[in-house]
Structure 1
Amino acid sequence: MRKFMIILMVTLIGACAASGEQHGRDRFEEMAVYERHAGAAESWVNYTSIRNWWSVGHHSVVFEVNRSRHYLVELIGACDLDLGSAVTLRLHTSRRNVLSEFDNVVVSGRTCQIRSIRRLDYEAVQAELEAEGESVPDKQGEVSVETEAQSSDGT
């Protein structure tokens, strides 16, 4: 009986470890799809509004800007973006209606700096994911934007 329990425990631990690796590999593969369909890095982008966002991989987020533009934004810092429970994402930007490298994203109290911003061919991402039987992640929610001018002069 004791031998059986040890074998059972080892099997269960192995299964748990394998499922964790599978989840990590899935996030890596998901990120690779977005990377394939992202353009060159841009220092900054203008926007009128950020309509939605969702996390991709562990350190990137997609912003739906205005009505038809999407950007893949890679972050630096303690930003493990497993954001299933996050509702609002805050941006600290240096200029109004401009998203730029070195601006900050704040989620769940953690501040992460933007490393790169790349225009995304969203339709190509959708097509590739659908061909693989996958779907684009659900949109997460609101984006709250605060510019340096707002935080320094209170407006």
Structure 2
Amino acid sequence: MAKVFRPKTREARILSQIESSRERERHHSITKVKECMGPLSNSIAMKLIENNLVETVSKTSLEDQISKCLESLMTADDFDVDYKVAPFRNVSSNPNIVSMYLTAFVIETLINHKDVIDIFGSDDEIYSCINNQVQKHISH
């Protein structure tokens, strides 16, 4: 007799593997941030200013704010992170959680900081700038 094909079981297993690999990648990215938080916040602040995406009075103040954002990412639970990045999920097809969290921070929170004059560029441009720096530091 022929083997019984159960597509629901096979699909469920594949979807489960995809979901668990995304979770592993997410937690790996967040733990790698701990190792390079200082240089990462410095390079992100520099690139945002160099690319004229953020106009600020003080680069060190911007760097401190990004550093505090990274610290809050490391202590936040999954629901809080997902809630913060939800409006920006369509920026990339396979987004990096650290880059998404920082993009949400820059667009929603940093704009109201006393040392930030204005934020320019689209969500995509800000995400791309941040993601380039995150990939450089996390992939090492």
TM-score over 0.5 (shorter chain): no
Greater strand content: 1
TM range (shorter): 0.3 to 0.5
Bigger Rg, structure 1 or 2? 1
TM-score for the superposition, normalised by structure 2: 0.39
Determine which structure has greater relative contact order: mean sequence separation of CA pairs < 8 Å that are 6+ residues apart, divided by chain length: 2
Provide TM-score, normalisation by structure 1. Answer: 0.36
- Structure that is richer in helix per residue: 2
